[in-house]
Structure 1
């Protein structure tokens, strides 16, 4: 547990984006922050090689989260970070991807500020950008897509979310955290008017060992996720730009879908 408050100490919080996984995608500022850390509070999907940049004496604290099983609720993570920085520690809050892209970094900044503590943010390569680059999948392209949107794909409240206009001709949709609700997402998008044969890519463990890039069509998204036993971390990309990628074609349309695609 953290020690007592030292009002003359140098304590601060640095929210650091660890990128999609590969340590080579860390920014120079991210590495510098890690090397200055007394405490590293990190997400569960951080590659161990990233943690190696922190000094040997730095305390490493995992606050790993999984679907329906959180080691600590967000409020407890906020309190943990604040408690350590009050002792004068330099606390690096290490988050996968970018802290401000589905990373709840905004909430953590608010909590640290509310406690009267200094905080800074070092951006990271967001998962969508890193995974798409590895798969040679341009999210925008002069001839194919002039807009890209990012959404979270959790099932909770999914049916009430309005994604109208986010995907289709000339547009790319990137879905984070959509593996467990892929079938629901596909049905939702087709109900909203997207063509069942619109290309889709699933980028699993992008930039990490064992990465897979798979291509199918929207109508087969849920089936492909199940057949290929896709697990998080993974992102889903919907749009014509998928045709330009190096993703492997995994399309096996179910008989019940074939008529809809003819």
Structure 2
């Protein structure tokens, strides 16, 4: 990223550029584009997303967005890394919102580069609301979501005739897992699910989920170090712990997991 300026700390809430204060600075000719970069493989970004990146003055990037895409930024573009890691958010969400508004009001073409799709568990909606409240022009460029693409990379379709007619996508950080269907014929995709995996499985089993439900953990999906681990629901926490399954990973539960080539290598302790 030679020739690019970097920054780490945006203005905080309550500053003149706080998006909650539309009466702050006068909006300039700048704009914000939320661009979904897709999961893992940098080539999965859309044509429109790449066009915006190549014309950006400022790029605000997430940890899960492919950082190789920064090579497409113009020389001199400011790159700001606001990566969030489990239990470690160096830049809070309201600070990110304020940063987008500040740079756009200063006349910059800002690209908010996010992993996957901005509107799938990515807080993109909040960032759009902040920009609109501040009178900043904002565009959303959809991306390939990890909720579907990462299972596909492991040979797992989220729907398949005779196996699953629907699917649910939830964050394992939330109690939403207690409300989704707990059936083998309805695929369940858990994002950000590694840390709370044992709790999630316990909730599902407590709700009557079949303990023999096929399960997969796909780590680093669509990257060179992708790893797929298959087992059954009741064994998933034990297997994941023993193998050191780590984020970023997508958890897939349901009969569709049996379509993965890795199902033949499933691990079932004690079997």
Provide the TM-score with structure 1 as the length reference.
0.90
Check conservation: 1:150, 1:175, Cα contact below 8 A.
yes
User: How far apart are residue 165 of structure 1 and its match?
Assistant: 5.1
User: How far apart are residue 111 of structure 1 and its match?
Assistant: 0.4
Check conservation: 1:164, 1:192, Cα contact below 8 A.
no
Gaps spanning 5+ residues in structure 2: where? 1-6, 11-16, 18-23
Q: 1:189 aligns with which of 197, 204, 211?
A: 204
Q: Which residue of 1 aligns with 2:222?
A: 207
3-state SS of 1:179 partner: coil
Cα deviation, 1:175-214, whole Å, max 9, x if unaligned, reads 0011011111111111100111110011110001200111
Check conservation: 1:167, 1:238, Cα contact below 8 A.
no
Q: Which residue of 2 aligns with 1:252?
A: 268
Q: Distance in 1 between matches of 2:184 and 2:212?
A: 12
| 1:1-262 superposed matches below 5 A | 9-154=28-173, 158=175, 161=176, 163-164=178-179, 166-247=181-262, 249-253=265-269
3-state SS of 2:97 partner: helix
Q: Distance in 2 between matches of 1:24 and 1:207?
A: 10
Flag the 1:17–1:228 CA change in 2: closer, same or farther, 3 A.
same
3-state SS of 1:113 partner: helix
Check conservation: 1:202, 1:214, Cα contact below 8 A.
yes
Provide the TM-score with structure 2 as the length reference.
0.87
User: How far apart are residue 162 of structure 1 and its match?
Assistant: 5.6
Cα deviation, 1:17-71, whole Å, max 9, x if unaligned, reads 0100201111101100101100000002222211112112211000011111111
Runs of 4+ aligned structure 1 residues displaced above 4 Å come to 4-9
